[in-house]
Structure 1
Amino acid sequence: MRPLMIVTAILLTTTIASALPLTLSAYGGIALEGAIVEVEKLDGTVIRTRVGHDGALVVREVPLGILRVRIVSWKGVPVGYECTVTPHNSSIIVPNIYPLRVSVVGSRGQGLAGASVKIFYGDILVETGSTDEAGVYSTLLPSGTYTVRAEYGERSAEESIRLDEAHELRIQLDIFAIVGGYPLSTSELIGMLTAAALIPLVLYIIAYEYTIWRKKRIIRATVREK
């Protein structure tokens, strides 16, 4: 009688957990939408799939509701985190994914709104975006080494970082001011202001020379008439 009860309990558990819903998230509860994962069942079956919207993933026909889950990559970057899940702990929080805050500033330390930010993992473009009004771009990335490139107009600069914890990166571009939508360096702005200051002087000289020339012409005409 007792073996029959055990078998019945196992069958009930298997039936209840035949479809196991999982949720995958990282720092701050951000869903790992699009992450590549491998799930291994107790019978050795391995399924490779992609996490859906809101970090949700449903695995069907799971014996005893137990799975070995490996997060392979997210945003094209290796993750390599593994854990075992059951119906009682099917929410996975991946620990080795960290926030990165990129500040793009000009030569005066002013934030540059609308600057382009590109993040590379080796030769792979992981993501691209633009800074906010404060010149800041924020994201989450798996642990790894990245190259972060900031661009504004024709100005650009890049930095390499090793992301093993929450990180703040400051990238400075040679932009002193933005005039009429055009970024200007300190030397360019000085040159423009100098040119602007010289224009009235040049116009004055031209007007003065024209006045002298006109007076001389009038004098010559008067002499000829006499």
Structure 2
Amino acid sequence: MREFYEVVQATTQEQRHNLGELTGSSFGSSPETLCNHIRYLRAGTIGQIFWDKSWKQVVTDVADHIGIDWLAVLKGRKWRDLEAKEIEVAVVAKLFQDILDKLSSEQRQQLVMEMKQDNDDPRVEALLTGGGAMALAKMSGFGVYLMASTVLGGLTGALGITLPFAIYMGMSQTIALILGPIGWAALAGGVVFALNQPNWNRLTLAVVYISTIRHSRPQR
């Protein structure tokens, strides 16, 4: 878990607090506590004592659970050649694609137009309307940030987790107004259904939030 520890140690106190809230940590949000809590979420009360795998393994387990396309991620490489952050991006792209697939054409277009306000690359609209979430992830680090923020908003809304709005820096209030509470529940419903165990819910939120941190940009 050294990589997870190093990423979390470099974050702000607010970011660590948000991560603690997302993962349901009851004993604080220090880097050490969050590491132990991830072990608990993955292996359980007794299993965490013996579980000594890496953050990359945690991300891989989440990726397996939600069913990412490993062939598209690996591209002829071996798992050992991948970095954890590459698998994180694949998780974000898969969840975001699931969201897009549940939107009506009108809702999708509204979402794309809102995201374009933060990214003026003309390829963004073509990739999103064409169902190319993974292609967008490969094209733009900020595109990953926007997708991860949107996924985070959908999942927390569906799971009933309330956090300060600052956590959704890449998802403006306009998006929430476009879709509304019913829309968020509908688009996230399939994801929540797939994540049918509380530990997987929380681990997935952790993976998405870590990806958000990695791809964040300075605030305006």
Per the normalisation by structure 1, the TM-score is 0.26
Per the normalisation by structure 2, the TM-score is 0.26
- Larger Rg belongs to: 1
Q: Which has the higher helix share?
A: 2
More RCO (CA 8 Å, sep 6+): 2
Q: Which has the higher strand share?
A: 1
